[in-house]
Chain A
């Protein structure tokens, strides 16, 4: 199971990077979201998959899955959500101000 997930994470990374290297703001943000999905999957896989029951204490259960990566990912999801929303609003503002969402056209002044 793990190697399939890791290959999937690799594909998510590759598509994320390809998106980030594009010119349009929307694509770049899509890339960052894919990147965080890939990272979350990697963290989860590092703690071994499908070994036991969900980490909710119950007398009948002997082994639980590793709760620590889950806690870490939970934190990470919230943070990346915050950043994504900020990025989206920033992209919206940038496109409004500059009348373009093309990164190559946003170069600032010549003599800054």
Chain B
């Protein structure tokens, strides 16, 4: 285990230690103070990797896990993994600090919280740095599981449990699809390593499994990153504690899908399917999220939809950027790779400002007791610092200078305008629609950013409508993490190229290794169409925001049931109902029905096999002669057997059953089986006696006349069975495949000293059978004894209970 492995697996180790720390120290020191050391340690270690990785020296370290299956925990640290690692550990550290002040150490089960959080952190770190696809999948599911645990952290609330379940179902569904896609890739390339898959990209693109693998992997990425229409789990995941929402559901986990798409771009990029799916779904998600965000009255729900929208933005940029793989290194590749660069840049920016905004909302919730914007207002004078951070965050999200969102938004417009100029994948109407949709979505983004900023902080303060009486600024510890993130937002605007040179360009280089020259971020690039688009967004956005009350009514015209949540829950309900009614239909509780299923299935399979294999081939030549006695016995048996069916008299049924038994004895005599005849006679006598003993206690046989349908079903099933058995056995006796071993048993006298061969077989050659048969008889005897003996006691206690 290398030091880097230790760094990445450290959260798991820490998660084991947390409960002990909690038990010994929590009454004095908040457990979070110990936990925060972990992400800080990881963050510093990853920072130390920057110089070598920005020089293009990627690190690959292997650690055996299941060597016989070639599944090893191989860490491949390149620019992309490093960037994600820094975001995960950096924001992780800030979130832990924030949670120290957010989560009360006496009222909350902190050990659970930090174990789940550390599990998530470790899984996420491993996911982005793993080179082995199966390790990647394992950790992918671990993020789903830990997210499930964190959403349902307040498990006594119904909504938390529902949100957790929904997130689990959707992300695991996508995760399984992704596993199938990864397995397809493994089948094509015969390697588990992502790097080697990328090296064998020609093999994949020529394969017939290319499109299935592409679709399945995209399904995984889209469900995890809450893309349309799988976005519905994210707003419900807001039932989690706010630090969790800030960390998982804005900065890290929802970007796992983005990471996957970025990682897979070298494999699938350059194909039209990938391009249009990623761009199309991304733009739709961007539009859908921004429109839905405006209607929300809960601040966290608003942020959830804005996250969905921003993730769609990043996804669409990744889609546009994938066109870079259509070209050889050169001018055009540089042009499209710029969209990838914009995606990575916006991803980084989004993590900073969205993390800060969630923390702001958490502060408002923590200090006022509500997140409902209809009850909030006028907090500006009470919480000036919180307001400042909210201002920075929301203006950055809206894409205004001087914040980092402005830079990435401009780059986004550039990328989208490039998408409209794509001429190699046809579909012109879609290409032209993308920038327009994206531009309208930006206007909506501007509007909800304004709502986020204006409604809680400006206007009049309404203390009587707030649950908490004394509203004041948050403690300093709670403010430090959002302040750090807020200052990052501003710093990145003024010095974007430091970030660009050391983190973003290496990340791009790990996607597109053969770029001509690294990208530069410029805040000002002349009076281009991007600038006019931004000005248009601001002007139109302000106009629409001021008049929001007039046009917001338009939403109410839309039917309430016309949303994805309704579709999801009603289809779940339907599935449950259908499966219940289906199960109830065939699991009737009647033994007769089950027997019919069994007989019909087994014997129709046998009959079909006989017919389809052309096996019905009788050979009567070898059969023994028939005498008149034989025929007589047979006819008598048939009559006796049928009598058991048609009689309504119990005694007649029992006696004819006895008759069948004694006729079998006669057959044994004819067929030279003296021992059998003897045994059968004794057994038959005993059985009949038993029947007669029992019948005295059993009710009389049917006076009820059964329905015709009942009789007919029985008749058909029994005839099917009878005919199949006859044909099967006839076919079987016609074919002797090898000589029987009978002759060996004729040595009975020499080997066993017995003249009766059957008895020699029973007690000598195959004595084991006999021993166990004795055991069966013994057990049956005990069973009979128990059934009779334990009756009185059992029924007594039953009666005592009912009385």
Contact = CB atoms under 8 A, between A and B. Distances in A.
Interface string A79-106: 1011111101111110111001101100
Contact of A67 (B715, B732, B757): B757
Interface string A55-87: 111100000111110110111011101111110
Contacts of B725: 9-10, 13, 38, 42
Given A10-B722, A27-B653, A71-B762, A3 B755 contact: no
Contact of A18 (B672, B715, B788): B715
B479 interface: no
Given A13-B725, A23-B592, A85 B674 contact: no
A41 B733 CA distance: 13
Given A27-B701, A68-B761, A21 B638 contact: no
A37 B654 CA distance: 15
B741 interface: yes
Nearest to B731: A6
A64 B758 CA distance: 11
A38 B724 CA distance: 13
B676 A70 contact: yes
Contact of B653 (A30, A83, A104): A30
A88 to B, nearest CB: 5
B757 A95 contact: no
Interface stretch (B186-194, B195-203, B284-292, B768-776): B768-776
Contact of B595 (A13, A21, A30): A21
B698 A14 contact: no
Nearest to A80: B683
A56 B755 contact: yes
A16 B599 CA distance: 12
Interface in A45-61: 45-58
Given A14-B719, A34-B644, A108-B589, A77 B680 contact: yes
Nearest to A69: B673
B641 interface: yes
Contacts of B674: 54, 56
Contacts of B618: 3
B516 interface: no
B694 A91 contact: yes
A52 B672 contact: yes
A33 B661 CA distance: 9
A55 B760 CA distance: 10
A23 B657 contact: no
A57 to B, nearest CB: 4
Given A33-B657, A46-B729, A51-B624, A68 B697 contact: no
Nearest to A31: B644
B742 interface: yes
Size class of the contact patch on chain B: 35 or more
A37 B660 contact: yes
A23 B318 CA distance: 68
A6 B698 contact: no
Interface in B761-792: 761-762, 766, 769-770, 773, 776-777, 779-781, 783-784, 787-788, 791
Contact of A68 (B599, B717, B740): B740
A100 to B, nearest CB: 7
B687 A81 contact: yes
Nearest to B790: A93
Interface string A1-18: 111111111111111111
A75 B671 contact: no
B714 interface: yes
Contacts of B745: 55, 67-68
Contacts of A58: 755
A82 B675 contact: no
B726 interface: yes
The DSSP consensus for interface residues of chain A is: helix
B535 interface: no
A11 B638 contact: yes
Contact of B758 (A3, A42, A44, A74): A74
B683 A78 contact: yes
Given A46-B729, A81-B686, A85-B687, A103 B592 contact: yes
Nearest to A50: B624
Given A23-B702, A44-B671, A67-B742, A55 B638 contact: no
Contact of B757 (A20, A26, A27, A57): A57
B634 interface: yes
Interface in B616-660: 618, 620, 623-626, 630-631, 634, 637-638, 641-642, 644-645, 650, 653-654, 657, 660
A17 B741 CA distance: 34
B721 A14 contact: yes
A85 B667 contact: no
Contact of A30 (B644, B721, B733): B644
A96 to B, nearest CB: 7
A16 B660 CA distance: 12
Contact of B780 (A44, A55, A85): A85
Interface residues of A, number: 85
B591 interface: yes
Contacts of B2: none
Contact of B634 (A8, A75, A97): A8
A83 B690 CA distance: 12
Given A15-B718, A47-B740, A97-B795, A74 B697 contact: no
B624 A1 contact: yes
Given A53-B672, A96-B791, A8 B638 contact: yes
Contact of B673 (A9, A12, A34, A65): A65
Contacts of B138: none
Contacts of B741: 68
A84 B732 CA distance: 29
Contact of B748 (A51, A57, A84, A85): A57
Nearest to A12: B641
Given A11-B638, A14-B722, A33-B687, A93 B623 contact: no
A84 B690 CA distance: 9
Contact of A95 (B671, B691, B697): B697
B65 interface: no
Contacts of B657: 30, 33-34
B798 to A, nearest CB: 9
Given A74-B676, A79-B776, A82-B780, A90 B787 contact: yes
B172 interface: no
Contacts of A46: 729, 732-733
B667 A41 contact: yes
Contacts of A14: 718-719, 721-723
A78 B729 contact: no
B641 A15 contact: yes
Contacts of B679: 74, 77-78
B664 A37 contact: yes
B668 to A, nearest CB: 8
Interface of B: 589-592, 595-596, 599, 618, 620, 623-626, 630-631, 634, 637-638, 641-642, 644-645, 650, 653-654, 657, 660-661, 664, 667-668, 670-676, 679-680, 683, 686-687, 690-691, 693-695, 697-699, 701-702, 706, 713-715, 717-719, 721-723, 725-726, 729-730, 732-733, 740-742, 745-746, 748-749, 754-758, 761-762, 766, 769-770, 773, 776-777, 779-781, 783-784, 787-788, 791, 795
Given A11-B722, A12-B641, A79-B777, 20 more contacts: A2-B730, A4-B626, A14-B718, A17-B714, A30-B657, A40-B664, A46-B729, A49-B624, A51-B624, A55-B758, A66-B740, A71-B762, A74-B676, A83-B780, A88-B690, A89-B694, A90-B787, A92-B698, A103-B591, A107-B590
8 contacts: A9-B726, A18-B714, A30-B654, A46-B732, A64-B742, A70-B673, A78-B679, A89-B784
Interface of A: 1-27, 29-30, 33-34, 37-38, 40-42, 44-58, 64-68, 70-71, 73-75, 77-79, 81-86, 88-93, 95-97, 100-101, 103-104, 107-108
Q: Which 5 A-B pairs have the closest CB atoms?
A: A14-B722, A10-B726, A82-B780, A1-B624, A17-B718
